Amino acid sequence: MSNELKELKEMIIRDDKNWGDWGHESEESQRDYEQQIADRVFAYPGCAVERWGGWVWRVNGQQQEWSKRQTRHQCERAVYEVVERLGIEEAFDLYVTDGEDDAEVQP
């Protein structure tokens, strides 16, 4: 992963107070918000896994260290924010090929 992309991901998720977790009128509205984020990230490749010191998003066995947070919700929220801004391929360093192989096919 390029250093510039890593820095961009860190910049996107640096400021928690801009993510909407503040000012919920009730515990119910907080739970609804957390469920909305969980529902959205469910469609992404990978999942949040618990490890020592918190939670991290893992895709194809690769931990996305930039996503490490103390709680599952905070991890999912960080992943959601990065995917919304960069897209799935860039967020998780996935590169989709067009299915064509450079090797020549022998008759």
The conformation of residue 14, written as its DSSP 8-state character, comes to S
Q: Give me the pLDDT at residue 17, please.
A: 53
pLDDT digit string, tens, across residues 4-41: 888 888 888 776 555 656 556 777 777 888 899 999 99
| 55's tokens | 């939670």
Exposure string for 27-50, b = 16+ CB within 10 A, e = fewer:
eeeeeebbeebeeebeebebebee
Please state, in angstroms and rounded to a whole number, the distance separating the CA atoms of residues 15 and 41: 20
pTM of the model: 0.74
